[in-house]
Amino acid sequence: MRRIDAIYDLPQFVASSLVRKISANKFRLPATDRAKYQQLPDHVIVRIEEIVREAYLEAGEDVGGDLFHEHLWQQALEGRRAMIASGELLPPTEFRRRIGVTEKRLERLLGDGSLFAVEVDGAEYIPAVLADAAHNLRRLQAICQIIVPAPPMSRLDFLVSRNGSLGERRPLDMLADDRGFEVLQPVAAAWAAEWSRTSVKVYEGVHETEPINVPPLYTAIAEIDPRRPLWARASEALHAHGYHWPLGPYPDSRRFTLFIERQTAGDAGLTPEACVQISVDGEDIRIRVVAASGTTLRTETMPAGNHRSLIDIAKRVIAYLTNATRA
């Protein structure tokens, strides 16, 4: 949960340890561990506990059994009801009145991610801060579009919380001037990417479904915005300085399969997106792209060139598919 170390300027190992202890103790830091984090004020500990609890709930994680899960959901629901009572969350009609748009325009803004809504008791409410004329609303809506991959309450938390990557300023405080907005955009994009991972696994042989109980020859994982095109994400996973294992050397396999999958933060399940069957035949590389459902998308042949290692060939194939999609 790297957003905590960013918000509170903590070393990643400290933030990770803190999250583990909180999540393992019914979302409260054990009193016996409080002294280990004495540099953090009580109100910061309380806020981190809330962040961890909200993240688990919004991701649908198992948080300790049905009764406890229901208790936490009830707590979160009561908190959101209180936000409605205090005016922090507004019904669409009131929100629309404040920003002066039609119902159709509001639907469009919600649809493209410029605004977002929180569901409470089966109805949607929009954070009042998104209508606050004290902020540059055009820029605020642009940031909202960037952070769409995160759950709505997490987006709100990002916007209103101080962030270590922004010099302890809130994203809302970075909208007024050009330089602040310029700094904020990549920080928002990096934060949004943490909510989704794209993985590329390489297995020896030709497969249409991922082998079971067989370790992949190679795995690459990177945190990437899921709205980016499939092949662009696969390419970044193979090239980015993220998780790569093993480091080599790799077997000189002439037939292998790439499985591309996506995972949402907090969700243990993987979403298969595609598999790419690759056969190297002399100077040619034969590619067969298969959709997650098992439907063949296309079969193509491309020159092998000077790329001979398994990973180099995989990168070349993904680059070829990326360019073919753009054409």
pLDDT digits (tens, 9 = 90+) for 58-80: 655 544 545 445 655 677 778 88
One-letter amino acid at 138 equals R
* Helix 42-58 × helix 152-160 angle, to 10°: 150
Pair 214, 112 in one domain: no
Of 152, 171, 194, the residue at which a domain comes to its end is: 194
Pair 3, 116 in one domain: no
Predicted local distance difference test score (pLDDT) of residue 1: 42
Predicted local distance difference test score (pLDDT) of residue 47: 80
Predicted local distance difference test score (pLDDT) of residue 134: 95
Predicted local distance difference test score (pLDDT) of residue 12: 59
284-302 confidence digits (pLDDT tens): 899 999 875 545 567 888 8
Pair 200, 321 in one domain: yes
Pair 303, 282 in one domain: yes
Predicted local distance difference test score (pLDDT) of residue 326: 64
Domain count within the chain? 3
Range of the domain at 13: 1-85
Pair 188, 202 in one domain: no
Pair 53, 153 in one domain: no
Pair 3, 20 in one domain: yes
Pair 91, 65 in one domain: no
3-state SS string for the chain: CHHHHHHCCCCHHHHHHHHHHHHHCCCCCCHHHHHHHCCCCHHHHHHHHHHHHHHHHHCCCCCCCHHHHHHHHHHHHHHHHHHHHHCCEECHHHHHHHHCCCHHHHHHHHHCCCCCCEEECCEEEEEHHHHCCCCCHHHHHHHHHHCCCCCHHHHHHHHHCCEHHHCCECHHHHCCCHHHHHHHHHHHHHHHHCCEEEEEEEEECCCCCCCCCCCCCEEEEEECCCCCCHHHHHHHHHHCCCEEECCCCCCCCCEEEEEEEEEECCCCCCEEEEEEEEEEECCEEEEEEEECCCCEEEEEEEECCCCCCHHHHHHHHHHHHHHHHHC
Predicted local distance difference test score (pLDDT) of residue 109: 96
Pair 203, 321 in one domain: yes
Predicted local distance difference test score (pLDDT) of residue 73: 66
What tokens appear for 68 in the block?
């406890």
Give the residue ranges of the chain where pLDDT is below 50. 1-2, 62-63, 65, 67-68, 294
Of 176, 194, 212, the residue at which a domain comes to its end is: 194
What tokens appear for 63 in the block?
């948080």
Pair 201, 157 in one domain: no
Pair 321, 302 in one domain: yes
Of 124, 159, 194, the residue at which a domain comes to its end is: 194
Pair 115, 73 in one domain: no
Predicted local distance difference test score (pLDDT) of residue 71: 57
